[in-house]
């Protein structure tokens, strides 16, 4: 007999009754029923109920075992009596009566429960992550992550891609976030950067002629923490040569759609998978107030600036914004006009909490609208409002007014809030779409300069001529995102493969030719030796798993993670370097002075 187990803890069935079996695992629960001990023994595969009978010589020792101790037990498989069968357990028709037992590793008193959720906070969970990972939910999430990565790899291999590994010590590049820098001991005063993505390397692989590349790539971004962002994340990184934007979409859509169809019922609730027609960035911002809209939400935003600019509309609060170039957005909500006043007051308070004066509305219980601002909107203007938004009797239309950027932001947030308050969000479906035609540049208000709005290595639509003749803020790029249920799950672009176009594109963002040559000389030099037109994208693996697992936080689908302040309480990272380490790296610390306490 094997030293530790003849079976895993999910394997014994009624067909094994009468056989000797050996199991090893963790004590999930231990219960004393009148001198008979029932031990739920758990491994990563399942749970088996084991019994120490009242006349067993093991009874006294076993009674002192704590939950989460590791034991090996040997005994006879017996059938449970009909009234004790547990239909919820695969092993629920049998139990193992223990003849021999070995305490392999006793457990100290555990800081939180493993067998059930006792509400332990994130800090204590992360400090003892190895315990947290024993929980059934976490085991299920990590198994899903493993299966998703396998499924992605399999689909990419079947689609003709080759898998590569690219360096994790590289040069810094402007990709939208701060780099993590690594000092070089051998080159004093110089630093490597951990890659924000394998962007340059995958493009160089296209120049090398490999045609179709993919990688499950670790990426590092020194950004502020939040629920759907980690300092270190993994992405399915993809690049293809001689492709159009549409071909990238046509290649990757079945990969991701097939993946979600495979795991749509992982959590026990079957979900449909729908891929909707692509959206332009402009339409997404106008209709949904977001470039990553949740299309399960049926509400659509409409521009109604023309209505409030009319002479027969006297709502001056809106007219003042319109006169300064602002706009008015409307959100039609079907059949909520009969909601109690508290429904509208709650939304008004929410809007005030978002920094707005409130959330104006007109309720159309009948042909004539009613509400806080209805009296300022003449009947003919109300008719025009109906035409623009498709209002029917019983509907309510809410309004947001501000500059275009601020109006889009608040209207998008209001659209989601109203949807949830009215219970309109569709359930049981994953809704995907590609968002295309992103602006190449944006104006950075803080720096008072034009900057890249997305990926700096993207090809501008119209090429060099557009860069030379068009207002930079009006230039569109061959850039695209894939979104699902309100999450951006992928970004990508057709790349700028020509040095002359790249020089002009970076110059408009304030990067002169010498800076470009210094920072990206490897890629620029490669392009001068013949670069194929190419493009690709990257799908966030952590985010895909988070959506499939129905988890609100990326930290729930990764084995080892840091907290929201990017600290690892288990490994005590980040930690202070020793004086010897700093000396080796030729680094002297210049730390900010700590603020004096009130007592001081």
Please answer whether residues 320 and 310 qualify as being in contact, where contact means their C-beta atoms are separated by less than 8 angstroms: no
* Residue 549 structure tokens: 């697992």
3-state helix, strand, coil in the chain (%, to 5): 30, 25, 40
Using DSSP's 3-state secondary structure scheme, residue 347 falls into: helix
CA 220 – CA 230 distance, rounded (Å)? 8
Q: Which domains does the chain have, with CATH numbers?
A: 14-105 (2.40.50.140), 139-278+434-557 (3.30.930.10), 297-425 (3.30.1360.30)
Tokens 């067909």 identify what position?
Answer: 15
Q: What is the pTM of this model?
A: 0.92
pLDDT at 175: 58
Give the separation between CA 336 and CA 421, rounded to whole angstroms: 11
* Rounded Cα gap, residues 155 and 436, in angstroms: 24
Q: Rounded to an integer, what distance in angstroms lies between the CA atom of residue 546 and that of residue 555?
A: 9
The pLDDT of residue 600: 41
Residues 6+ apart with CB under 8 A from 118: 112
Residue pair 95/80 in contact by the 8 Å Cβ criterion:
yes
Task: Say if residues 274 and 431 touch (Cβ distance below 8 Å).
Answer: yes
C-alpha angle 458-463-464 in degrees, rounded to nearest 5? 115
> What is the mean pLDDT of each successive set of 10 residues along the chain, which is 600 residues long?
96 97 98 93 97 94 96 97 94 97 97 94 95 96 98 98 96 77 94 94 97 97 78 96 98 98 91 97 96 98 96 93 94 95 94 92 91 93 95 95 93 97 96 97 89 91 95 96 97 96 93 88 92 98 96 94 92 94 94 63
For residue 255, is it left (φ>0), alpha (ψ between -120 and 50) or beta?
alpha
What local confidence, expressed as pLDDT, does residue 213 receive? 98
Phi and psi at residue 329, to the nearest 5°: -110, 140
What six digits make up the tokens of 508? Answer: 């408009």
DSSP string, 234-277: EEEEEEEES--HHHHHHHHHHHHHHHHHHTTTTTSS--EEEEPP
What pLDDT score was predicted for residue 596? 53
Distance CA 16, CA 78 (A): 8
How confident is the model at residue 367, as a pLDDT? 85
Going by C-beta distance under 8 Å and a sequence separation of 6 or more, which residues neighbour residue 326? 305, 401, 402, 403, 404, 407
Neighbours of 447 (CB within 10 A): 9
What CA–CA distance (Å, rounded) separates 241 from 41?
A: 53
Half-sphere exposure in the Cβ direction for 548 (13 Å, CA): 29
Q: What is the pLDDT of residues 147-175, one digit of tens each?
A: 999 999 999 999 999 999 999 999 887 65
């Amino acid at each position: 007999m094997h030293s530790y187990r003849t079976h895993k803890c999910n394997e014994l069935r009624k067909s094994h009754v009468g056989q000797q079996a050996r199991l090893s695992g963790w004590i999930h629960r231990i219960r004393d029923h009148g001198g008979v001990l029932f031990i739920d023994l758990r491994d990563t595969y399942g749970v088996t109920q084991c019994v120490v009978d009242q006349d067993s010589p093991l009874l006294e020792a076993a009674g002192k075992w704590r939950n989460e101790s590791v034991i090996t037990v040997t005994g006879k498989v017996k059938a449970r009596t009909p009234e004790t069968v547990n239909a919820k357990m695969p092993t629920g028709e049998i139990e193992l009566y223990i003849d021999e037992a070995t305490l392999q590793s006793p457990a100290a008193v555990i800081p939180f429960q493993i067998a059930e959720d006792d509400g332990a906070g994130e800090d204590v969970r992360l400090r003892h992550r190895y315990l947290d990972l024993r929980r059934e939910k976490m085991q299920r999430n990590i198994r899903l992550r493993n299966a998703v990565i396998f499924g992605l790899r399999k689909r990419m291999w079947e689609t003709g891609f080759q898998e590569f590994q690219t360096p994790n010590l590289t040069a810094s590049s402007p990709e939208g976030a701060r780099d993590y820098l690594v000092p070089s001991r051998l080159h004093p005063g110089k630093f490597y950067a951990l890659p924000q993505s394998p962007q340059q390397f995958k493009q160089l692989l296209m120049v090398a002629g490999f045609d179709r590349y993919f990688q499950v790539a670790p990426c590092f971004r020194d950004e502020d923490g939040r629920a759907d962002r980690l300092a270190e994340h993994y992405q399915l990184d993809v690049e293809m040569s001689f492709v159009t934007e549409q071909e990238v979409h046509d290649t990757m859509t079945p990969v991701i759609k097939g993946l979600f169809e495979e795991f749509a019922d992982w959590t026990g609730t079957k979900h449909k998978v729908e891929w909707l027609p692509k959206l332009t960035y402009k339409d997404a911002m106008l209709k949904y107030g977001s470039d990553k809209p949740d299309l399960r939400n049926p509400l659509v935003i409409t521009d109604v600036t023309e209505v409030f600019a009319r002479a027969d509309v006297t709502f001056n609060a809106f007219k003042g914004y319109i006169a300064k170039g602002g706009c008015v957005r409307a959100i039609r909500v079907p059949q909520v006009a009969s909601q109690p006043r508290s429904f509208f007051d709650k939304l008004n308070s929410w809007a005030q909490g978002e920094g707005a004066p409130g959330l104006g509305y007109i309720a159309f219980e009948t042909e004539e609208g009613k509400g806080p601002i209805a009296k300022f909107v003449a009947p003919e203007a109300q008719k025009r409002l109906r035409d623009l938004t498709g209002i029917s009797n019983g509907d309510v239309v809410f309004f947001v007014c501000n500059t275009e950027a601020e109006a889009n932001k608040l209207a998008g947030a209001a659209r989601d809030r109203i949807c949830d308050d009215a219970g309109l969000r569709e359930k049981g479906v994953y809704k995907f779409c590609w968002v295309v035609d992103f602006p190449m540049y944006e104006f950075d208000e803080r720096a008072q300069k034009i900057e890249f709005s997305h990926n700096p290595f993207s090809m501008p639509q119209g090429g060099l001529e557009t860069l030379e003749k068009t207002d930079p803020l009006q230039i569109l790029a061959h850039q695209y995102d894939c979104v699902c249920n309100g999450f951006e799950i992928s970004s990508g672009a057709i790349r700028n493969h020509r040095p002359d176009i790249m020089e002009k594109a970076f110059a408009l963002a304030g990067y002169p030719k010498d800076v470009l040559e210094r920072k990206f000389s490897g890629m620029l030099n490669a392009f001068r030796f013949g670069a194929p037109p190419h493009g690709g994208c990257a799908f966030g693996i952590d985010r895909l798993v988070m959506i499939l697992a129905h988890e609100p936080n990326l930290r729930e689908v990764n084995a080892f993670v840091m907290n929201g302040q990017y600290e690892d309480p288990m490994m005590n990272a980040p930690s202070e370097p020793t004086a010897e380490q700093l000396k080796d790296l030729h680094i002297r610390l210049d730390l900010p002075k700590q603020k004096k306490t009130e007592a001081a």
